[in-house]
Every structure is written in C-alpha cells, then in structure tokens.
A and B are shown apart, each in its own frame.
Chain A
Amino acid sequence: MNEPARAKAAKPLPKPAPESVPYWEAAKQHRLELPKCNACGKFWFPPSQSCPHCLAADFAFTPVSGRGKVFSFVTFHRVYHPAFAGEVPYVVALVELDEGPRLLSNVVGVTPDKVTCEMPVQVVFDDVAADVAVPKFKPV
C-alpha cells in the first residue's frame, strides 16, 4: 500500500460543529454530557443552541447516567470505508439513554449475533486518538 492510501485508511475522526464542542471535550475526559434545558428540564441530542422541546436557549451540558437500551441496530458487512475493512461485521446501534435522547454508536464487547433490540447497555469510551475519545456502548 502506498503512503497516500495508508493515510486514507485512518478511521474518520469526528469534526465537531461549534455547538457540539463541549460534548467532545467531556467525552475526552470520559464523561457523557448532553445539553439539558434549564427551562423544561429535558435533555436533547445532538447538541444545538436551543431546546427542541420548548425552544428555550438557557441550557447547560450536564452528565447523564450513560445507561440505556438498544432501540434498533444494524450490522455492517459491506466495507464502505477502507479503515473498517478489518472490523466487519460490526454493529451500529441507536441507543436510547435512560434520560431520553437517542445516540448513534457502536455496541462493543459482544458478537453481533447477540445484540437485540431493548438490550440494556452502558457507555464506555474508546480513546481513538491522543485528544479524541468516542462514546461506545457495551452490554450491561
């Protein structure tokens, strides 16, 4: 493999939008923090500058339990990006947190055939680069 191809084969890192920088800063410290509305008390995701439940703009990034359950999931067999060639089959899941919001993530620490809807899961952090940690989930 030549050098440009090798460089291309690195897994993509998240490129945070301005509103999600605090989310990724907390993740780097292995904390899962989501925007929580100071007006209606609800969490939301993905981050934005106003609450989609009540449109208030008064909020704070607040830790969540990191517990939830698999709402639905898929298993990638096809390789869409060369960096994932060694990973297939892998699971991408929509995890519904106990606090309500749903996050897209990977379910790790279990073979794909054991993953089910409603399976309870807990967040773990994958240090994918020196200054980037990605929240993933493992079965409880």
Chain B
Amino acid sequence: MIDPSRDLRDACAIVGAGHSRLGRVPSVSSLDLLVEAMRNAITDSGMSVQDIDGIVCRGPDDIYSHHQQIGARLGINVKFSTSLDNGGASQILAVAIAAMAIKAGMATTVICGYGRDSWSRTHSSEEARVKNQTTPDDQLPKEFAPEYGYFGAVAAHAFGATRHMHLYGTTREQFGAIAVACREHALRNPDAQMKKPLNMAQYHEAPQIVAPFGLYDCSLRSDGAGAVIVTSRERARDLKQPPVLIKGFGSYNNLRGWFADDNMVTTAAKKSGEIAYGMAGLGPDDVDCAQIYDCFTYMVLTQLEDYGFCKKGEGGDFVASGALRMGGRLPTNTSGGQLSEAHVEGMLQVVEGARQMRHTYPAERQVKDAEIALVSGHGGNQVCHSTLILGRA
C-alpha cells in the first residue's frame, strides 16, 4: 500500500515548462497552440521529444481522443497516454497522474498540458460573441436553465459570490482588490494579454455582467496553451533546469453539485487542500506564493479561505489587506492569472508555480526567497478541484 507522504512526496519533479503565444492568436487551432507550448517546454528542459514516454492532457470539449492527436503532432508513440475530463481541475490532475504513472513504472517522462482557442471561438461571429460560449451546444443544459435565461459560467459562479456576501458581508470592493492585484502582476509579464493598468475606480465603473460580477470580476477569453514535463527526482538531477519538486497533490470533487449543500461557499478546495498538505507535510503557513484558479475574483477569495490562509468569512479582509501583491503575505497569481495574463484553464498557473520555484525571474517578478508554491485548479460544473504543492529542490 502506498503511503502518499512517504512514497509520493518529492518523488517527481517538473523539469520543463513552456507556454504558447497568449491572448488573441487567430488562425491557430487549440491543438497547435498546445504543441507550441509543448515544444517550448521540451526546449526548456533540454531534452528531446524522444525522451517523452507519456502524455496526459485535457482536450477542449469539442475534441475527441485529444491525447492521440497531440501524440501524432509530436510524432511519438508513448507508453502512457490519456485525456482528462475534470474541467479546470484537469491540469493539476494531469501532473498528479503523471507522477503516479512514473512511480508505478508506467512511464519515465510525461508531458502534460492544455491549450484552447477561446478568444477566437467567441469572436468568430456576432452570434458567437453574444453567446460567449466555448462549450459545444450539445453539451449545454436543455432544461432547468435556458428557459430562465440562465446561461454561462459567470452566472454560475456569481451565485457563490452572492451567498458569500450574504453570509459574511463580503463586498465588491474586496473582489476588486483581487482584480487589481492580478493586473499589477500582468503588467510585469510581457506575454500577458492585458497591457493597461486597472485601478479600483475603473473596476467599479465597468459594466455589470451578471451581478454581483462586473467586467473585471471575469477572467479573459484567450487563445493560448501551457505545458510542463514531469520526471522522477533521480532523472531530474541530471537535466538542464533546476528541478521543481512535486511535494504534494490532492483532488476533491463535490459531485452532489455546486447548488447542493454549502458547496458554493465552501468549495472542494478545502478537502483537496487537506489531501495535498498531508502528502507534502506542509500547511498554509509554509506557503510563500499561490497560483489560484481565478476564473472569477470571488473564486480566489473563497479558495484562499478553503486553503486555510484565513478563516472562512475573512477572505474579504485578507485580499483587501494587500496580501496578494508582490511583497504581501501571499503573492498570488504572480503572472497575472486568468483575470489578466490569459485564461488557459489553470495550466498557466502550473507553469508559473514551477517558474517561481526556479528563482530565474528578474527581481520584479520573483517572489523573494519563495520555497513553496501552492497551485489550484477548479472546474467542471464548479465542483471539481485539484491542488499541487511545489517546492525548490
């Protein structure tokens, strides 16, 4: 029987990380964006594509047998290969499955990644722009939603924000602090989609989308991809980059539903985080920077509570204190996050968590002396969650 803290903690490392062009990348498919990110990750690692013997990825919803198509474009056969179906929680789950497959001897070096063409897809026509929908029509609800004018992920997450505001007095000003911090970080990232500053007055003046969310509570529609390469700690020692240890991972899935129980206020991040902390032998006080799945501002706030960085209900005060900014208690989404860098369903958060652990950034982008990074993934129908804890070797 495997003991996660003995057998999986520090067993594997991320040895390569890459991203594609981000933002508006017309005329490039999601598959080719992902291959672009994977090529960059392979180059970054100093390895050859022939060293890869595993692929774990999550395809966009409209692409069947995604990992097979990626392998074909990379031109390789591999031992271990599969695609995942946990929405934004898939990307960390891919890294976790890679580590488990390596530990089990199913593969030695696994590439994980995700790519999407959400900007192009939602700007291909006026109808596509109005629907603002990346999910294929046949996967949308056919009853108990459209007849009420209930559409999209903004509204789904806004339900949680309303409930949190009701229970704890959380304010839009506090959500705004998250949007502003992410934008500050994006301005230091030359590849980020958003290039202009954002202040609190602009946050409040922006149009409402689905209240309580306004424009800047919502993450971006992006074309883009990210990828990382996972191998054993032993192999990592001989490679080009400083290895980034996978100290812990976890997942939890509130499959009873976002609308069930208290799931929209206490998310699956709580139990996913407990599992990951347990494997890593660490707690929230040990974490130096966080890359939190920020599909919407509120989701950062509630996950920070669920991960124990503050108590449930105190997330508003925590984020408004400046904790998320560089130099704050917990610099968060340090590349700009999905709110301001690009929304690649959490994959860029994995990439950024790994890069922060290498200490190769210029000083303005590096979280000083950071030894531990926590990365979160959230998705599906708001109920799937995954956690990754990374550390310097």
Contacts and interface: CB of A to CB of B under 8 A. Distances in A.
Interface residues of A, number: 41
For chain B, what secondary structure do more than half of its interface residues adopt (helix, strand, loop), or is it mixed?
A: mixed
Interface string A104-140: 1110000010001110000000001000001010000
Interface stretch (B16-24, B111-119, B143-151): B143-151
A33 to B, nearest CB: 14
A113 to B, nearest CB: 10
A5 B174 CA distance: 41
Interface string A97-108: 000001111100
Contacts of A74: 155, 158-159, 162, 210-212
A64 interface: no
A72 B166 contact: yes
A103 B150 CA distance: 12
Given A15-B142, A72-B264, A74-B162, A94 B259 contact: yes
Contact of B148 (A72, A104, A112, A116): A104
B203 to A, nearest CB: 16
Nearest to A5: B127
Contacts of B160: 72
B145 A104 contact: yes
A13 B141 CA distance: 11
Contacts of B146: 12, 14, 81
Chain B interface residue number, banded: 20 to 34
Interface centre among B145, B162, B207 (most CB of A within 10 A): B162
B132 A80 contact: yes
Interface string A1-28: 0000000000111111100100010000
B161 to A, nearest CB: 8
Contacts of B155: 74, 76, 92
Given A71-B163, A75-B210, A77-B209, A15 B143 contact: yes
A89 interface: yes
B131 interface: yes
A92 B148 contact: yes
B77 interface: no
Contacts of B72: none
B152 interface: yes
A84 B130 CA distance: 11
B159 A94 contact: yes
A61 interface: no
Contacts of A90: 149
21 contacts: A72-B264, A74-B159, A75-B208, A76-B210, A78-B132, A78-B154, A78-B209, A78-B210, A81-B151, A87-B149, A89-B208, A89-B211, A92-B148, A92-B150, A92-B155, A94-B259, A102-B259, A104-B150, A105-B148, A117-B166, A118-B166
Given A84-B149, A92-B150, 13 more contacts: A12-B146, A16-B142, A16-B143, A46-B143, A72-B160, A74-B162, A74-B211, A78-B209, A80-B132, A81-B151, A94-B159, A117-B166, A134-B147
